[in-house]
Amino acid sequence: MLYGIRDWARWDTFQKTLVEQADGGWYVYFVGVDFPQAPLDAVAFCKVLGAIDILLHHDHKERYLGIVYVDDFEHPQLIKIYDPNNLGASCGSSGKVVPAGWILSRIPPEPLGEFVVPEGRKRWWREIFQD
């Protein structure tokens, strides 16, 4: 079962938990773009997490978060983060399947197939790993 993070303050606290548990065991799957073959090292994981945090705060201009889901707040193994620019219709009437934007997991993820991802978001992802 996954639990939603509704409050921004809860996200900020949870992000600190993730940084504390960054040990080289996290797979980060940018759905539709980059299927991970191995977990990220701790430095790369924290860099990705920081970039996602900035993106969420910048692009999701709501008083609530509500687009991050986690299996366990203290010892997470699976996190789904939805892209604030690809949320679809809130009532589901569009009939469009909206996948999570990013899946962070302690176990190797399964490929979810092909999804259209805007070029700007792909560029954002590439820039995270450029030094």
Global pTM value = 0.92
Is the dihedral angle over the CA atoms 129, 83, 59, 50 positive or is it negative? Answer: negative
Cβ partners under 8 Å of residue 25, min gap 6: 39, 106
Strand 68-70 and strand 3-5: pairing?
antiparallel
Q: What is the mean pLDDT of each run of 10 residues along the chain (131 residues)?
A: 97 97 96 94 98 96 95 98 82 72 96 91 94 69
Distance CA 94, CA 106 (A): 32
Q: For tokens 């692009």, what's the residue?
A: 59
